[in-house]
Amino acid sequence: MSFMRAIQKMFNRSSAVDDQQQVIENFKRTRRRNNDLVVAFFDRADWHYDAIRQKGLDEGQMYVPGGMLLGWLVEKEFVSDEMYELYGEEIEDFLNQRIGPADLYQAMEGKLHQDMLTKEGARFMQFYFSAGNYFTDYENTFDARDGAQYSVSDSWSNYEKLAKLLDLRFREAG
């Protein structure tokens, strides 16, 4: 946390705009966290916007695939302390099932970036997500190919089904 943010928090002068600006600044960083990990976006909801629009679906659907993955990362405590500081309320709402995975992803700007994760979370994502395995597993889990992956409902039963597979993939990754 920056010195200025610490002062703002001490005097309760932090705002949602300040928090959002901090996240945006973090995303723009091009630093390396570890020698073996390259900073990267794993997913951004806006990358899916054209597919959603072409299918005539609600824009909220672009948050579902990434939201389910982000939700699992949150549940496994693979998100960084900074994300808990910035989005603690939303994370708590997700963990208590007051909001769904897509809502959590949307609240976090629809971006999943390496800097948002712990070292263990980033390593898993480099291994699993970067190889294209997540979207293959997502499509197979919901039998949703050829654009149908965007029609998957943002439901807790769907999340739990995918979370079981993600748990297995994490164990396989060792």
Are 124 and 36 spatial neighbours (Cβ–Cβ below 8 Å)?
no
pLDDT above 80 (res 39): no
7-21, 115-129, 130-144 — which one is most confidently predicted on average? 115-129
Instruction: Give the pLDDT confidence score for residue 146 in this predicted structure.
Output: 67
Give the pLDDT confidence score for residue 147 in this predicted structure. Answer: 63
Could you give the CA distance from residue 149 to residue 137 in angstroms, rounded to a whole number?
11
Distances from the Cα of 126 to the Cα of 84, 93, 120, angstroms: 22, 27, 10
Instruction: Please give the share of the chain, as a percent, with pLDDT higher than 90.
Output: 47
The SS3 of residue 1 is coil
Q: What is the pLDDT of residues 57-88, one digit of tens each?
A: 889 999 999 999 999 999 999 999 999 999 99
Euclidean distance between CA atoms 85 and 19, whole angstroms: 9
Q: What is the Cα–Cα distance from 166 to 161, expressed in whole angstroms?
A: 9
- The CA distances from residue 82 to 27, 29, 92, in Å, are 12, 14, 14
For the chain, helix, strand, coil in percent to 5 are 65, 5, 30
